[in-house]
Chains A and B, each alone.
Chain A
Amino acid sequence: MNIIALLNSLPGAAAQGLIWGVMAIGVYISYKILDFADLTVDGSFCTGGAVAAVLIASGMNPLLALVFALIAGMAAGLITGLLHTVFGIPGILSGILTQLALYSINMHIMHGKSNVTISRTQFDLLLTSASIGRALIVAGIAVLATVGILYWFFGTSLGATIRATGSNERMSRAQGINTNYTKVLGLVISNGFVGLAGGILAQYQGNSDINMGRGAIVIGLAAVIIGEVVLGRVSNFALRLGATVFGAVVYYAVLAFVLWLGLNSMDLKLFSAVTVAIFLAFPYLKGKYLKKKKTAVKEEQHASAQ
């Protein structure tokens, strides 16, 4: 085993982690703030990447292309939100329907091809995997901007209504909040950042691919959970978003590590799913075990008292 090879792979893993961190923040908004497991992201991540790649290939400024990636992601979130609120389709199913539809739409965006290449020699990309130092800086700026904007937004009166909706829907309606509107708005914002992240990744890897978003929800959840486990439950909102990005970086570092250990890249998704399942199950099993222990102690005391 060559330790140098591992060390060499880490900066790239960090850059990927930062980019996926932006997408994980999107998942944080839907999953943690809005309490909505939104599967749209698997599709909207690719939508953002496809829009950015196609626009750059047609000559658009790569920064401006990211704005359109953001808007495309928001549109995807809007569809899921409307399916759920206007048509009463359960949340998970709304996301799955949009995700499925987006496969066709993403193919159309990429003019029927499953892959659109944007060469770094041909276009002035914001970041590329060939120049990791610059990629780290650009991805870092994207993360800071995302955290900054969302820290501001969720501190506003409007942002507070989205948080209230996720925390207690009945209370929100009793307090005059149109919870259908706040849910749609939350999903729009969430998927906007997911699309943005897709656009950034497309530039980083020099192409957009129809499969680039597959499993994005799992990576996002992994980042959210790892961030919580590693940094604990910090109360500051900006730090919590930061912890999610940190979780994404850790996730990619771990992936680099297991690949270095010799895991077949074919098995990566299985590895990811199992890891996330364990982390999701952990708090539940812990609670169950502690409860059992507590009742056992109580029964013991009860028995000894008699």
Chain B
Amino acid sequence: MLQLNEIRKTFNAGTVNAKVALDGVTLTLNDGDFVTVIGGNGAGKSTMLNIVAGTYPVDSGTIRLDEEDITALPEYKRARLIGRVFQDPMTGTAADMWIEENLAIAARRGKRHGLGWAITQKERVAYREMLKSLDLGLEDRLSTKVGLLSGGQRQALTLLMATMNHPKLLLLDEHTAALDPKTAANVLALSDKFIEEGKLTALMVTHNMKDAIAHGNRLIMMNAGRIILDVSGEEKKALTVDALLETFAKASGTEFANDRALLA
């Protein structure tokens, strides 16, 4: 269970460029919740994910994950509990290392890295099986440098790395935005599959309203650093893009100014 309590974050505080990114966000995710997050540019969606991941500290408020207060925990220590996939497919994997080496690092996330071999034969067999589930033919390319893969392949691999040791929380930060529509659909389907099979708790930021409605069991909308809509269950299933736009206009007092979301 993830609990955000009154999270505030201002960038460049005290300067003319001060930007309130999160303005008192309170949110509770129950175990198994798959929440999609939408909102205009600068609404605070990515900031919220980065705050949870520990990329930057909060100004005030607390973050608890499974009853553990992780507010002060550095990013690399939170990785024990949290799996992440980034918007840029280049971010989630090490380009200069082989596929199996990337997987080995992910497999040891949150564990001690000692002087044993990075990969054992037994692990290699297991990795091959896992890669088969991606259905991209990567199981025969264990010793290929990740830098040689396409963006979609790298994003699928990152997804596998993020979910393979059953994290308490999975953070997907517009992880299909940089992919072409067909590849994006494949990666989204894989995300659904891993989340369902692993019974994972997940937060997925997206710019695509249709995706936000079609995936997950709960949807939140953000504007100006606040959560302005939180729907789940049957109510969410009944949502339409038009209804969302209307809600946005009502709650924020402005039009939803984002071409990408409108056109999607």
Contacts and interface: CB of A to CB of B under 8 A. Distances in A.
Contacts of A175: 79, 105-106, 109, 161
Nearest to B80: A176
A168 B53 contact: no
A41 to B, nearest CB: 22
A156 B97 contact: no
A220 to B, nearest CB: 20
Interface stretch (B114-122, B199-207, B237-245): B114-122
A157 interface: yes
B105 A160 contact: yes
B128 to A, nearest CB: 19
Interface stretch (B1-9, B60-68, B87-95, B186-194): B87-95
A163 B104 CA distance: 13
Interface string A160-177: 110110111011111111
Contacts of B74: 178
Interface residues of A, number: 23
Chain B interface mostly helix, strand, loop or mixed?
Answer: loop
Contact of B115 (A157, A173, A179): A157
B117 A157 contact: yes
B96 interface: yes
Interface in A51-99: none
Interface in B70-98: 74-77, 79-80, 84, 86, 90-97
Contacts of B132: none
Contacts, number: 84
Interface residues of B, number: 32
B210 interface: no
A166 B101 CA distance: 14
**Interface SS, A side:** helix
A155 interface: yes
A172 B84 CA distance: 11
B84 A168 contact: no
Nearest to A33: B96
A164 B111 CA distance: 16
Contacts of A170: 86, 91
B141 interface: no
B42 interface: no
A178 B111 CA distance: 12
A8 to B, nearest CB: 42
Interface in A132-185: 153, 155-161, 163-164, 166-168, 170-179
A163 B96 contact: yes
Contacts of B93: 168, 171
B170 to A, nearest CB: 12
B92 A171 contact: yes
Contacts of A177: 76, 79, 105, 113
A287 to B, nearest CB: 16
A179 B76 contact: yes
B137 to A, nearest CB: 21
Given A176-B77, A176-B79, A156 B96 contact: no
B91 A160 contact: no
20 contacts: A157-B114, A157-B115, A160-B113, A160-B118, A161-B113, A163-B94, A164-B101, A167-B94, A167-B95, A167-B96, A168-B93, A171-B92, A172-B76, A174-B53, A174-B84, A176-B79, A176-B111, A177-B76, A177-B105, A178-B74
Interface of B: 53, 74-77, 79-80, 84, 86, 90-97, 101, 104-106, 108-111, 113-118, 161
Interface of A: 153, 155-161, 163-164, 166-168, 170-179
Given A157-B116, A160-B101, 6 more contacts: A157-B115, A160-B97, A160-B113, A164-B97, A175-B161, A177-B76
- Across the A-B interface, give the 10 residue pairs with the lowest CB-CB distance, nearest first: A176-B79, A167-B94, A160-B118, A167-B96, A176-B109, A157-B113, A168-B94, A158-B113, A157-B118, A173-B76
